[in-house]
């Protein structure tokens, strides 16, 4: 069973479109995250939710809106896609606690044309 899954794996779309990426974890974790990995492989946190509540919201354009319908799911909706949004987006989850490791999904490669 996959611990953290994301759909779709690949997403190719035109500038200006709206798209969503879904994430689900079956580990029973309370905290979920979205990261963006750019073309240079730099990894930056975007959002974090704990028990469906937003706890980390980095400087991300408000075209990006996370939604957590329950603590096992954290979806990312992106409006008015731009070329610079092209990246690999990773979902992750962890148990509560400062010492908890994160479990990462396989990533969604978004290409904006």
Q: How far is the CB of 3 from other proteins (least distance, A)?
A: 10
Q: How far is the CB of 101 from other proteins (least distance, A)?
A: 4
Residues in the site for other proteins, rule: CB under 8 A?
A: 4, 31, 40-45, 48, 50, 55-56, 90, 92, 98-99, 101-107
Coil/strand/helix, residue 111? strand
| N-to-C CA span, the chain | 34
The token duo for 39 is 């073309």
10 vs 79, which CB is nearer to other proteins? 10
Residue whose entry in the numeric block shows the structure tokens 């689900």: 24
Q: How far is the CB of 63 from other proteins (least distance, A)?
A: 22
14 vs 98, which CB is nearer to other proteins? 98
Cis-peptide, bond into residue 8, ω within 30° of zero: yes
**74 φ, ψ (degrees, to nearest 5):** -140, 110
58 vs 82, which CB is nearer to other proteins? 58
């Amino acid at each position: 069973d996959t611990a953290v899954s994301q759909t779709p794996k690949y997403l190719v779309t035109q500038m200006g479109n709206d798209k969503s990426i879904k994430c689900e974890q079956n580990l029973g974790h309370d905290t979920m995250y979205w990261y963006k990995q750019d073309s240079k492989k730099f990894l930056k946190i975007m959002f974090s939710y704990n028990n469906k509540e937003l706890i980390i919201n980095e400087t991300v354009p408000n075209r990006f809106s996370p939604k957590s319908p329950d603590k096992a799911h954290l979806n990312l909706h992106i409006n008015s896609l731009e070329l610079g949004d092209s990246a690999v987006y990773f979902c992750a989850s962890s148990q509560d606690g400062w010492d908890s490791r994160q479990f990462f999904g396989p990533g969604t490669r978004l290409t904006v044309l």
